A = this chain, B = another copy of it.
């Protein structure tokens, strides 16, 4: 059995110098064509390239102060007006600091915020555009604004009031909460998890600027070793000689349908002519809603899935994506894809209703299940990324395993949604054999048991499936 530690290396030391173009492999592009599945049978060209896809803006952003200058910067930070970060602010600072949002160099100023809200893109000085669909902003209230006064810089502090970053050349502008919510989520209905957590009670101002982060961000939760930066991921992918990298974003336990999909994607990439496609299995590590399975339990579950040999450790890199989850459907899936370009992925697997959830008020899904992949395939700045639509996998009762759904014999298939899966585990019931490896399933059952033991009353012990 492969243990998780063989799947990816221990993180190397964090980079302490800004990256330059010379860090990148020269890329040589050749192209092959194959018929697409579209009705028109038009030929789609896929690039087979030596070297990883370029980061957005051509250069991976690194906002962590180099080691030799940290002492000096900490002194500077001590004398500046302070803005205290929430847990989600800190997650975004982490995201920014490692260049997931390259070429963005800090919390958004108003022009970036407006381009994001209205166009889901940022215009670069050279006339090109990069995708940017979710606002990465920092809210402050009237009192904080008054304290900042005329200062051009502020220090960002953690919950213990320790400075962890400096925000330079700041711009303070109004926080149009209603408009931000409407344009990001396509609804203003009460009950959106991220909105309730991070926007509703946030301040009426936004503060943007260029970040200098004083230390690499660590959470000290036992999972930091899984948090590879885009730079570290690129290094690992290059070390493995990947000529195609396909990213799979997830925030749920992995079942055998996912595994089938990922294995099949690799097969298709090999058929296309790639010699060494590598899977980036990339669970989201930031804020999630209360009824999602927490990161630590998901990581245990993923580990079991790899131990059980469901995925091949030789061709899989598991790492944590530090972003918070917005549940903003077609708007958010662009962010999920864009960030993975920066980590070196040139293929992105997109499923049904990505980043979706039930409407918080009405009895329906918030987003049309097909809009995510449609919007992603048309999104500005993502033209370089190859979108791989998720094929629907379901439990094939005739084979006793997960298989691609065959509509000609629909009656043979059983659909087990994430909601149903969670309900089964909560009720200590077993899913059909072959739905998930037993070790992985046990982790889920243990998680819900732990909730019962700690007397968490939010999640009833017995719920209907």
Contacts and interface: CB of A to CB of B under 8 A. Distances in A.
Contact of A123 (B115, B186, B378): B378
Interface size class of chain A, counting residues whose CB lies under 8 Å from the partner chain: 20 to 34
Nearest to A117: B186
Contacts of A183: 182-183, 186
Contacts of A185: 182
B186 A182 contact: yes
A118 interface: yes
A118 B331 contact: yes
Given A120-B119, A185-B182, A188-B188, A111 B380 contact: no
A174 interface: yes
Copy total for this chain: 2
B114 A374 contact: yes
Nearest to A359: B178
Contacts of A117: 186
Interface in A92-147: 110-111, 114-115, 117-121, 123, 129
A380 B128 CA distance: 11
A374 B117 CA distance: 13
Contacts of A129: 380
Contact of A378 (B115, B174, B186, B378): B115
A176 B111 CA distance: 29
A367 B119 CA distance: 17
Contacts of A182: 182-183, 185-188
Contacts of A368: 174, 176
Contact of A119 (B176, B189, B379): B379
Given A110-B374, A179-B367, 13 more contacts: A111-B374, A111-B378, A114-B374, A119-B119, A119-B120, A119-B121, A119-B379, A178-B186, A178-B187, A178-B189, A182-B185, A182-B187, A183-B183
Interface of A: 110-111, 114-115, 117-121, 123, 129, 174, 176, 178-179, 182-183, 185-189, 330-331, 367-368, 371, 374-375, 378-380
